[in-house]
Amino acid sequence: MDAAERDLLAETLRKTMTAATGQALDASLTDLGWAELLAEQPDIAVPLTFRLLGETGAHAPLLNDVLLNAAGRPVGGTLPLPYTGGTWVVWERDDSAAGTTLDAELPLHTVPAGPPVPLAAGRVALGWWLVGTGRAMLALARQHAVDRVQFGRPLASFQAVRHRLAETFVALDGAEVTLVAATDELGALLAKAAAGQAALTAARHCQQVLGGVGFTAEHDLHRHVRRAMVLDGLLGSARELTREAGALLRAGGSAPRLVHL
């Protein structure tokens, strides 16, 4: 797939995700050939699709497919997914299960523990989703800072505001390169931790920059904040995974260098 084809695919996906979400989006993506794209070119399908889910604020039960595909099983179903704190959840394919999690749009509910799942593939996919969600929050906060005038000046002219947004930008860019570099179990673990941390950093700073309006239900920010929090816990939170990385270091006696010139 060359750059032009990738751009076209991204445009198509973005339009699809803007038009539908949840069960309807799942159906649209199936019609577009999601299963074939995932099977044949997961390195393109996963970053693009999951980042766009984050940026558009749409959702679909595609994490199931990534894990099923990595396990060599047919896609289209569901499987129990480990969640932070030792609980397990299922991400249903229809919308009727929605309404109980902090992000009430997502059809997640808790289930008894299941068999092990291929974590690395799922963590990278969720990492891209979290970075996309972070970028969506940053875009909202940036626009608000440019548009909103107080004391006769745009908020964006105040250094305290600028530095919060810059901090968010750094966190998201940092997380993104760890995702690109995630080619093994440890790389995926670190990338999910970086992405979760970046999305939560974005949530904190963007909420503050958006002030009162960002606290209202009519503004989109809270949807992204909720999503970031729920996705962070899936397949291991940033906090848990960071601790796990530290334990691996102590057990191994040194710090693995994962990328090389």
Partner 1 sequence: MSVTSPPGNMDVGGFRWGLRAWLDEHDLSPGPDHSLDAQVAQLARVRRALFDADWMRYGWPAEVRGLGGPAVLRAVLGEEVATRELAEPGIYSMIEVLAPTMISYAPPALAAEMVPRLLSGREQWCQGFSEPGSGSDLASLTTRAVPRDGHWVINGQKVWTSLAQFAARCVLLTRTAPGHNGITAFFVDMDTPGITVRPLRTMHGVDEFAEVFFDDVVVPADRMLGQPGDGWRLAMDLLPHERSTCFWHRIAHLYTRLDRLVAETSIPDDAELGAAYLALHTVRCRSHATQRRLAEGERLGAETSVDKVLLATAEQRLFETVRDLLPGVLELTDTPWRSEYLYAKAATIYGGTAEIQRNIIARRLLDLGRE
- How many residues touch partner 1 (CB under 8 A)? 44
The H or E element that residue 250 is part of is helix 238-252
Among 25, 165, 199, 228, binds partner 1 (CB under 8 A): 165
CB of 59 to partner 1, least distance (A): 27
Amino acid, single-letter form, for residue 103: D
Q: Crossing angle of helices 3-19/22-32, nearest 10°?
A: 150
Quick one: 88 or 169, whose CB is closer to partner 1?
169
* DSSP class per residue in 181-230: T--SHHHHHHHHHHHHHHHHHHHHHHHHHHGGGGGSTTSTHHHHHHHHHH
Q: Which stretch binds partner 1 (CB under 8 A): 98-106, 116-124, 128-136, 161-169?
A: 161-169
**For residues 207 and 209, what is the distance between their CA atoms, to the nearest angstrom?**
6
Quick one: 90 or 190, whose CB is closer to partner 1?
190
The mark string for 190-229 relative to partner 1 (x by CB under 8 A, - otherwise) is x--xx--x--------------------------------
CB of 243 to partner 1, least distance (A): 4
Tokens 């904040």 belong to residue: 225
Among 62, 108, 175, 229, binds partner 1 (CB under 8 A): 175
Which spans of this chain sit near partner 1 (rule: CB under 8 A)?
A: 142, 145-146, 154, 156-159, 162-163, 165-167, 169-170, 173-175, 177-178, 180-181, 190, 193-194, 197, 239, 241-247, 249-250, 253-255, 257-261
